[in-house]
Structure formats: C-alpha cells, structure tokens
Amino acid sequence: MFEQNNLSMNIREFKTSLYKEMAGMTKALGNPHRLEILDLLAQGPVSVEYIATNTNLTIANASQHLQVLKNSMLVESERRGKYNYYKLANQEVFNAWCALRRLGFSQNQEIAGLIQDYQKERNHLKTISIDELIKKFKEENVVIVDVRPEEEYKNGHIENALSYPRQNLKNRMNEFPKDQEIVAYCRGPLCVMADEAVELLNKNGFSASRLEKGFPDWKAGNQPVQTGTVDGHEGDARRKKKIY
C-alpha cells in the first residue's frame, strides 16, 4: 500500500511539474506587447532597437519583454556586432501564435467587433486568400507589393514581390500599371499597413486588394519566397536569393 501511494504521489508531482512549465510558457504570452513582438519577429530576426521603434516601446521595456520571452524559450538571441538580434525560437512558436490568433478571432466577440468596425471604416476593402494569390501568382497576372519596412522585406518576402514601404507608396504610385491587379501584403491579419496601402491605391484608380494574411503565413505554407532586395522602380529581380 505504501509503495502504491508513493508511486501515485510521484506521478502527481510529475504531472504538476509538467503543467507548471506549460503555464510558465503561456504566462509569457499574457501581455499585449509580447504578442506584438512575436508578430514582428515572425517577419525575421531584428534588433532590440528595431523592435522598440516598431512597437512604440522604450528600448528598456522592449528588452524586458524579450527577456521574458527568451526565458520561456519562445525567442532566441544572437550578437551581431554591437547589437543583439532576436528571432522566434522555431516554427512551432509561430504555429502557436497562429493558433492563439485563430482562437481569439473565433471565441472573442470583442476582437470580432473591433475588426468589423475597422473594416467598415475602410469601406470593406477587398481581401484575397493565400490560395487565391497562389493561383494569380502562377498565372502571372498580378503585381505583388510588400508594404512592410525594407528591413523586413530583405529578411524574406514573397517571390517576385516588389518593395514599396507604406510611407513611400504615395510618391511612387506612377510606377504601377493601371491594367493589372495589385495585391498588397504586410505582416499578417493584425497588421494595417496593407489596408492603408490598398485604400490609397483604390482611391487613385488602381484595382487593389490585400492579402488576407501575411508573409509569415505564406512562408509557413512552403510557398516560394526570396531574400534580398528588388529595385521597385524597375522590378529588377537581381540580387535576390530563393529560399524554401
């Protein structure tokens, strides 16, 4: 009887330890700034300074949040010269973020309401799915525009996509063809850069839509992607490198 009770206690301790470790990882996700940081890191490795700038955090606060994520083994860091660069620990972290995102969309009415209100203000901008873009991509009858900052574009982008950062788009619209559909994409469904770009393009007479999801989702589906730069003025695909 003593041995059976002792064994049961050891099993309970084992299970408690497992759930405790799992709870520690999920606790690290229980902060809006850390979720935004994960969404940003899904684009590729970036410095603490870049994260702070793009999340409206101080460098000190961004570093604190990154340490929590690192201690929970959700992100990794490496030294590049004078700067620390952070990245997602692996693909499973992105998969977990996507699952959490889907859960929020399906179960949280507040999230659904916020998205509906935002889309209503944007006059229900046209969106297309990744499957639809794949079809257009194969038929080569679409111009794909990456409106994220150039650093994220260089880390990786949809094959043959041209870099037109949102803040530069207004001054470069004369470079787009009027007789082709334009699909803009950004970081993902919680990012608004592509919405703003599509709204601007449509107001200026172009046929534009936004990719429903973002570059990380495209890459996670093993679709063709590239690193490097493209001269948006000429659509010059030199200096690109394919990655899969």
Architecture of domain 2-93: Orthogonal Bundle (1.10)
Between residues 229 and 220, the one the model is more confident about: 220
Grouping H, G, I as helix, E, B as strand and the rest as coil, residue 69 is helix
Q: What is the pLDDT of residue 178?
A: 86
Q: Quick check: 201 and 191 in contact, CB under 8 A?
A: no
Q: What is the average pLDDT across 66-73?
A: 96
Q: What is the pLDDT of residue 37?
A: 98
Percent of the chain's residues with pLDDT above 70:
88
The C-alpha angle with vertex 109 and arms to 107 and 112, in degrees rounded to 5, equals 100
Q: What is the pLDDT of residue 238?
A: 31
Q: What is the pLDDT of residue 72?
A: 95
Q: Which CATH number fits domain 115-243: 3.40.250.10, 1.10.540.10, 3.40.50.300, 2.40.50.100?
A: 3.40.250.10
Q: Using the predicted structure, report yes or no on whether residue 106 has a pLDDT greater than 90.
A: no
Positions annotated as catalytic residues are: 186
Q: What is the pLDDT of residue 233?
A: 38
Q: Where are the domains of the chain?
A: 2-93, 115-243
Q: Using the predicted structure, report yes or no on whether residue 96 has a pLDDT greater than 50.
A: yes
Q: What is the mean pLDDT of the chain?
A: 87
CA distances from 67 to 43, 45, 51, 61 (A): 19, 15, 13, 10
Percent of the chain's residues with pLDDT above 90:
64
- 124-179 pLDDT tens trace: 688 999 999 999 888 878 999 999 999 999 999 999 999 999 989 989 988 998 88
Q: How far is CA 42 from the centre of its chain?
A: 5
